[in-house]
Amino acid sequence: MKKEQLLFFIGLLMFMSGIYLSTHWAIIGTIIGISGGLILGISSYFSANKKIDQTK
């Protein structure tokens, strides 16, 4: 599995579980959700960066 795909799935899982956990434990769920969102952003950066390199 490629680095972008792995980061995307981990980030998505963390983001969704953070949303669910924030209904029960607000602080922990928020931290996990924000961390998952950051990982999703990092994965999209690597994905876009790879596509730009392929067009050159």
Q: At what angle do helices 3-21 and 26-55 cross, to 10 degrees?
A: 160
**Interior CA angle at 36 toward 33 and 42, to 5°?**
145
Q: Are 36 and 28 in contact (CB under 8 A)?
A: no
| Predicted local distance difference test score (pLDDT) of residue 46 | 76
What does the pLDDT look like over 2-55, one tens digit per residue?
777 888 898 889 999 999 999 889 999 999 999 999 998 888 887 776 666 666
Measured CA to CA, the distance from residue 48 to residue 31 in angstroms comes to 26
| Predicted local distance difference test score (pLDDT) of residue 28 | 92
